[in-house]
């Protein structure tokens, strides 16, 4: 006998499929939420790690900035110390320069010449004075060029003041010279060069030590002395020129 189901089975089957669909849809939504939460947590952890790295790097950069500032201060202090060291070395090298300079000024000035002014700016020396003639000035310039402490001299002016009031009749020429001083090492090298001696020079020098000393003293006196009156003519200098 055939069995016939007269109940609405199609509706029941449709409802069952709808329940399965909604269950799968809910499971998919739950899985998507879990995946989203997991991805969010992972990204949050990555961001926190990167933030911690950035914080560590910022801290290290600040420490390096402090060290760099200290290094700059040390370099500045080092530069100052080197500058002081250079100044001390220059002073040590030039401490005897003025002594040699005045010694050479006394040795190079010829008879019939007198200095009235002496100025120094760095390594440039300016000399002003009086002379009997222009030949005396030329001799003075030649003596300075042959000096180990002095370099090439330049004549700024030379003029005759003869006949003017207040001018020494014995020294009517007014001159001005400028010369560049040699460096201490150059002067030392010049002093170390062998100087040829004429035959019998040592014997003559040993025979007349008093005359050389007198000449040196007379030259120093002419260098630093004030202008003398016309009556007090440089008789010692003339007498000295007559000596053989």
Q: Write out pLDDT tens, residues 158-209.
A: 888 777 777 777 888 888 888 887 765 555 555 544 444 444 434 333 334 4
Please count the CA atoms within 13 angstroms of the CA of 131 that sit on its side-chain side: 23
What digits encode the pLDDT tens for the residues 55-86?
999 999 999 999 999 999 999 999 999 999 98
Query: Minimum mean pLDDT among 40-54, 78-92, 96-110, 210-224: which range?
Result: 210-224
What digits encode the pLDDT tens for the residues 23-34?
999 999 999 999
For residues 112 and 80, state if they share a domain.
Answer: no
For residues 87 and 171, state if they share a domain.
Answer: no
Asked, for residue 27, whether it belongs to a domain, the answer is no
Which domain range does residue 174 map to?
96-191
Question: How much is the pTM?
Answer: 0.41
For residues 89 and 100, state if they share a domain.
Answer: no
User: By the 8 A CB rule, do 153 and 133 touch?
Assistant: no
For residues 81 and 166, state if they share a domain.
Answer: no
What digits encode the pLDDT tens for the residues 100-120?
778 888 888 888 888 888 888
Per DSSP, helices labelled H in 95-147 are: 97-108, 134-145
Q: Is the pLDDT of residue 149 over 50?
A: yes
Band of the pLDDT at 221, cuts 50, 70, 90?
low
What percent of the chain has pLDDT above 90? 27
In the sheet that 113-121 helps form, which strands lie side by side, from edge to edge?
113-121, 124-131, 173-181, 150-160
For residues 60 and 143, state if they share a domain.
Answer: no
Q: Is the pLDDT of residue 216 over 50?
A: no
Q: Which domain CATH number covers 157?
A: 3.30.1360.100
For residues 77 and 113, state if they share a domain.
Answer: no
Count of domains in the chain?
2
What rounded mean pLDDT belongs to the chain?
A: 75
Go through 197-227 and write b for each residue having 16 or more CB atoms within 10 A of its CB, e for each that does not.
eeeeeeeeeeeeeeeeeebeebbbebbeeee
For residues 83 and 109, state if they share a domain.
Answer: no
pLDDT the model gives residue 177:
86
pLDDT the model gives residue 68:
94
pLDDT the model gives residue 41:
92
């Amino acid at each position: 006998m055939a069995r016939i189901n007269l109940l609405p089975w199609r509706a029941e089957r449709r409802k069952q499929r709808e329940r399965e669909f909604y269950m799968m849809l809910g499971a998919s939504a739950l899985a998507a939420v879990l995946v989203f939460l997991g991805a969010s947590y992972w990204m949050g952890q990555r961001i926190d790690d990167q933030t911690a790295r950035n914080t560590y790097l910022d801290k290290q950069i600040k420490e390096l900035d402090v060290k760099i500032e200290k290094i700059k201060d040390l370099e500045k202090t080092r530069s100052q110390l080197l500058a002081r060291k250079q100044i001390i070395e220059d002073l040590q090298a030039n401490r005897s320069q003025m002594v040699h300079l005045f010694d050479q000024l006394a040795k190079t000035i010829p008879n019939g010449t007198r200095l009235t002014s002496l100025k120094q700016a760095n390594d440039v020396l300016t000399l002003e004075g009086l002379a009997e003639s222009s030949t005396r000035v030329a001799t003075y310039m030649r003596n300075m060029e042959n000096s180990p402490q002095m370099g090439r001299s330049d004549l700024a002016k030379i003029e005759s003041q003869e006949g003017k009031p207040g001018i020494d009749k014995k020294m009517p020429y007014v001159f001005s010279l400028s010369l560049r001083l040699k460096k201490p090492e150059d002067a030392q090298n010049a002093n170390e060069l062998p100087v040829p001696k004429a035959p019998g020079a040592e014997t003559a020098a040993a025979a007349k030590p008093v005359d050389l000393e007198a000449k040196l003293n007379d030259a120093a006196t002419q260098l630093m002395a004030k202008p003398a009156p016309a009556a007090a003519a440089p008789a010692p200098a003339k007498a000295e020129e007559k000596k053989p």
